[in-house]
């Protein structure tokens, strides 16, 4: 069984959308990535930090879904990272109401010894120095290192971000972030510039408009499945990343052709994530539901065209 190392936040979120609001619930990039990757046959470990206020039941939820939590540090006298946000009516934009770093402020990741030879490393959205710290602990070069990031790190730690980008194989960012990182409006040109920074593969997420995969002069587009309702978009990008990384780890095939499948799996799992608040939908998700939705994706995207 392939090993997958995930680094990212395990956190509390408080979310408000046009459909309702929550108190503190389970969130964090590593949480969504791990729950998504749990849909595949992989041996995965999460590397993160929480405070003494983090419920044991949330840790049990992760272990029940075969996420190894040895790498989740518990700071007994500290508080867990907390984020609160309010989504606008279009669900594509949001306002951050609160960000409390708490124990994350001094987080020093420690990869469990048994996972330092992992084939796939998924660097969730964290400070670039933390992401690099995980890569530095690997005893051999991973078969594939995947990095997710956001505009916040481009604003405050651009040099560190560019430095770690040089050391990864895949970067996953959204369209706005790709434009900010490169200064290019065209996503094709932006992807080319990101290639020149180091990654062989560039995944640009476009939310409800799907995702683009670039490799050299090759390009692949996967639409997002049209949904009747989007209840809460929080964690959809991380769920996509977890499906992408989990599928690649389970197949052991990191070719461009197989990455197309990984993008479809990531998009499929993200389409479930947005159906309920927080991680609720991912916790109850069944394999049969995933397979049914994959067939819906196939019908949506495959057709024969006759040239005249």
From the candidates 148, 169, 232, 238, which is the catalytic residue? 238
Active site residue 232: no
Distant-in-sequence, close-in-space partners of 204: CB < 8 Å, separation ≥ 6:
173, 174, 175, 178, 187, 190, 191, 211, 212, 214
Write the pLDDT tens digit of every residue in 154-200.
Answer: 999 999 999 999 999 999 999 999 999 999 999 999 999 999 999 99
Tracing tokens 């959205």 back to the chain, one arrives at: 125
d(CA 77, CA 163): 33
The two structure tokens encoding residue 77: 């006298």
Specify the pTM.
0.95
304 pLDDT exceeds 90?
Answer: no
Tracing tokens 């609001």 back to the chain, one arrives at: 21
Write the pLDDT tens digit of every residue in 250-277.
Answer: 999 999 999 999 999 999 999 999 999 9
State residue 93's pLDDT score: 80
The two structure tokens encoding residue 281: 């939908």
User: What is the phi-psi region of residue 144: left when phi exceeds 0, alpha when psi lies from -120 to 50, beta otherwise?
Assistant: beta
Write the pLDDT tens digit of every residue in 73-131.
Answer: 999 999 999 999 999 887 778 899 999 999 999 999 999 999 999 999 999 999 999 99
């Amino acid at each position: 069984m392939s090993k997958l190392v995930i680094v990212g936040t395990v956190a509390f979120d408080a979310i408000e959308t046009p459909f309702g609001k929550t108190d503190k619930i389970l969130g964090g990039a590593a949480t969504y990535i791990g729950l998504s990757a749990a849909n595949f046959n992989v041996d995965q470990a999460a590397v993160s930090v929480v405070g003494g206020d983090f419920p044991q039941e949330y840790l049990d939820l992760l272990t029940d879904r075969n996420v190894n939590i040895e790498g989740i540090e518990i700071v007994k006298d500290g508080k867990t990272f907390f984020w609160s946000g309010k989504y606008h009516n279009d669900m594509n934009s949001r306002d951050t109401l609160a960000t409390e770093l708490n124990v994350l402020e001094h987080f020093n990741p420690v990869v469990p010894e048994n996972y330092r030879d992992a084939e796939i490393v998924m660097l969730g959205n964290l400070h670039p120095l933390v992401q690099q710290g995980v890569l530095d602990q690997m005893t051999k070069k991973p078969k594939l290192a995947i990095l997710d990031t956001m505009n916040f790190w481009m604003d405050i730690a651009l040099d560190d971000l560019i430095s770690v980008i040089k050391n990864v194989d895949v970067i996953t960012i959204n369209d706005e972030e790709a434009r900010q990182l490169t200064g290019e409006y065209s996503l094709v040109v932006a992807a080319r510039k990101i290639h020149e920074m180091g990654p062989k593969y560039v995944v640009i997420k476009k939310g409800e408009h799907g995702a683009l995969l670039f490799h050299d002069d090759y390009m692949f587009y996967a639409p997002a499945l049209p949904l009747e309702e989007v209840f809460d978009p929080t964690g959809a990008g991380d769920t996509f990343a977890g499906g992408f990384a989990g599928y690649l780890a389970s197949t052991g095939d990191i070719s461009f052709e197989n990455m197309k499948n990984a993008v479809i799996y990531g998009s499929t799992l993200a389409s479930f994530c947005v159906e309920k608040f927080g991680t609720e939908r991912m916790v109850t998700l069944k394999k049969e539901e995933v397979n049914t939705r994959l067939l819906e994706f196939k019908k949506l995207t495959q057709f024969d065209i006759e040239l005249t």
